[in-house]
Amino acid sequence: MNTRILLFILISVSLNICAQKDSLELDDKYLEDQFYIDITYNVLYNQPKNVKESDFSYGFSAGYIRDFPIIKNGKVAIGIGLGYGYDRFVHGLKVTKGESSNDFFEISEFVDNKINTHNLEVPLQLRFRSSDAKKYSFWRIYSGIKMSYNLANSFSHKISETLVKVNNIKSYRRFQIGATLSAGYATFNFHIYYGLTPFLNSEAFVDKERINTRIIKFGISFFVL
């Protein structure tokens, strides 16, 4: 229930922001879509054998993207930005933090274990759009990559109703990169992120199998100013 309330608040705030003016005119040029908000449904892809499918997982990202028009009419541009991202995953692995050695992973019979991450994000986009300085509703296709650096991570699971939580495990890959695509018209834009790097490093194994799990996100993007 708390998750549904959080998503409702985020979407309501996003819609209110996106009702504002959609471009910033500078003399005969203009800048577009400089602030972004992404709300996503997250999936853990390429899980190890016998690991149960993850339950409902979600993410939220927001930040600033500097718009650099390539051509004078502003319909093609490059965007470089900086933002913050939060992701929450419900999954089927239990993690024991290694103090002087590697972290230990084992398969859980329940899919109620959680991962929470806080990331610094650097999006890089090639932007195509049908906009002009006076048009606030237009088509857009933004493709590119998003680099992220993990600021903090936590893994939790329950043992006999006791919550066990480990923070900032060594096996979590601090630097990650993924391909992104945002496309749509006016307020609502479809967004997808495909992780190009596994979210755990090469030292993460379960039952002698390396964990090559990647992150995929589906959702909506909002752009303003």
Distances (CA, A) of 126 to 77, 118, 143, 158, 178: 6, 25, 5, 44, 15
Quote the radius of gyration of the chain (alpha carbons, Å). Answer: 20
Cβ-Cβ contacts under 8 Å for 159 (sequence gap 6 or more): none
First-to-last C-alpha distance (Å) of the chain: 33
Strands (E), 51-134: 58-69, 76-91, 93-96, 104-107, 113-129
Structure-token match 């999006």, residue found: 123
Is the pTM for the entire model greater than 0.85?
no
Cα distance between residue 72 and residue 74, in whole Å: 5
Closest CA to 180 of 36, 74, 51: 36
* pLDDT one digit per residue (tens) for the chain, 225 residues: 455 555 555 555 444 544 444 455 544 556 777 899 999 999 999 888 877 766 789 999 999 999 999 988 888 999 999 999 999 998 877 777 766 556 666 666 655 788 999 999 999 999 999 987 777 788 999 999 999 999 999 988 877 777 888 899 888 999 999 999 999 998 789 999 999 999 988 888 887 888 899 999 999 999 887
Closest CA to 85 of 193, 185, 164: 193
Cα distance between residue 114 and residue 111, in whole Å: 9
Cα distance between residue 77 and residue 132, in whole Å: 12
Amino acid at 104: F
Closest CA to 199 of 6, 57, 39, 80: 57
Question: What are the residue ranges spanned by the domains of the chain?
Answer: 2-224
pLDDT the model gives residue 159: 73
